[in-house]
Amino acid sequence: MSISENKLYVADSEVSVIIVIDLIAKQIKAVSGNGLFEFVYVGG
């Protein structure tokens, strides 16, 4: 977690996403990743 300019950035390794929480506007937005296991090695 990191706070910058009233925004809290959170890395969620469970679903491979980084979200930003705007503490003033009270909004949540994904800024990186598309969800579950996007970065998992496939092929064996």
pLDDT tens, the chain, 44 aa long: 777 889 999 988 777 788 999 999 999 998 887 655 555 555 65
Residue 7 lies in a domain: yes
Task: Output the CA angle 33-37-38, nearest 5 degrees.
Answer: 45
CA atoms of 4 and 20, how far apart (whole Å) = 10
- Assigned domain for 18 exists: yes
Residues ≥6 apart with Cβ < 8 Å to 12: 18, 19
Q: Give CA–CA dist 37/22, Å, rounded.
A: 25
Residue 22 lies in a domain: yes
Are the CB atoms for 2 and 9 separated by under 8 Å? yes
Claim: this prediction has a pTM higher than 0.85: no
Split into its structural domains, the chain has a count of 1
Boundaries of domain holding 18: 2-32
